[in-house]
Amino acid sequence: MTKILVFLYYYLIFDKNVSQQMEIVTDNLENEAPIRPLFDAQRQHARIVALTKAPERIGKLKKIQAYLLKNRTGLTTALYTDFRKPPAETELTELFATNNELNVAIQQLKQWMKPHPVPTPLAMLGTSGYVRYEPKGVTLIIAPWNYPFYLIIKPLISALAAGNTAILKPSELTPATTAFIREMIRSLFAEEEVAVVEGDATVAQKLLELPFDHIFFTGSTAVGKQVLAAAARNLTSVTLELGGKSPCLVDETADIEATARRIAWGKWVNSGQTCVAPDYVLVQRLVKDRLVEAIRKAVQRMYNADGKGVQASESYARIINNRHFDRLKALLDDAREKGCTVSMGAQTDPADRFIEPTLLENVSINMGVMQEEIFGPLLPIIPYDTREEVLRYLTGRDKPLVMYLFSQTASATDHWLDRTSAGNTVINDTLIHFAHTELPVGGVNQSGIGKSNGFYGFQEFSNARGVVHRQFGVLDLIYPPYSDKVKRLINFFVKYL
């Protein structure tokens, strides 16, 4: 049971706020690769890779796995260097998560690659049909900075399992992790099969001009729209794992202590820089004060157990850079100026890029924290009185990447599931849907296009090719000329088949 619980709590996490990543333009293009020749080489080689069978593809995945297990200290060091991510948290949310995706693909790829038979409708009597998954070809994977290893290698696993070549564009905001990725890929693959292209937004834009067969982008909704527009020019298929304001809904029946622990963990892992982190909490007014107090205690247990303060904790990451720190500090200042109440936290240290876990009450819709995805350690708490009040609030917003429901009654969770929409939903926990490799994970509308995880990731990088095989039949009886006999037969088909 302990292993199962650990497995569920690792696999999290994701996201994304990559808008800044695509907006920043620098003059440092020393690492820019000759992109077009690289693309052409991969296009040529894709024909060979497409013919590989399951054992060859599994062998590639096992090479990645062996490299990770051998170099795990290098990965934790890189993430600590980039934004002081605790090594244990890196093991949990980057290495363990990646390794599990590898295990699923290695174990199930042979089954995924087999023809998938489909039933034969009566009108298709005399035929058999199946779906054959074939590789799309040359793929592009653009990853963000917040989980800079997992969010680039996870889609790579799916791309390789499906028999594609891949060009990887990691974030320039995490140089140490990008260097680790570059060395790993160079040691395992020839460039015509998998290659890393480094650089800033100008490099990403040049990549997006090329006619890739599929693009997998993880990042903000704003930049996702730019990627989609670029892909449309080449009619390239896309997977967009985007962001949004994911709500927590806590009703009066919820187990408050457990709810507080799970919200605290989901919100403040990676210092809140997780696209599926709870962005705000809607809580029944009857239990609001109890929940706030329980969250305070949960944060102290997690990040201040020794009483030295959260800033001294080795379990709490830092904000990625000064730009993001300034953005979050401005959101906090704006909320305070407009009348919010700080119920916990709000201590900041720009020199250390530290922002304490913070609870905000008495927030209003005109505050920045309620207008944009926070993507940091600020958590608004909003009390409600009636379900109708909640529905009016939720239905007036974009569909979120994930919705978290905390309740002890099935009728309540069914009520919200029936009346709301989200990419995924988790009941009585946070983040753990990423551990469920049998479920599709992704957004809806503004929060994403397409799904990933296990087979669903393999499917995203594949063309589902329908195949019909005629063995015998009577369809030739309805060929022209359309005599009265043929017309009667067609009429029979229309009425009864």
Residues annotated as catalytic are 241, 275
CB atoms within 10 A of CB 154: 27
Q: Is 134 helix (H, G, I), strand (E, B) or coil?
A: strand
Instruction: Return the residue matching tokens 């009619």.
Output: 235
CB atoms within 10 A of CB 351: 7
- Is residue 143 a contact partner of residue 12, using CB atoms and an 8 Å limit? no
Q: How far apart are CA 230 and CA 224, in angstroms?
A: 10
Q: Which of 368, 388, 188 is nearest to 279 (CA)?
A: 368
Return phi, psi of residue 34, to 5°: -70, 90
Q: How far apart are CA 101 and CA 437, in angstroms?
A: 8
CB environment 441-468: b (16+ within 10 A), e (fewer): bbbbebbbbbbbbbbbbbbbbbeeeeee
Q: How far apart are CA 326 and CA 350, in angstroms?
A: 8
Q: Is 247 helix (H, G, I), strand (E, B) or coil?
A: strand
Q: Please give the structure tokens belonging to residue 69.
A: 């297990």
Residue 242 CB-density burial (10 A; 0-12 exposed, 13-18 middle, 19+ buried) = buried
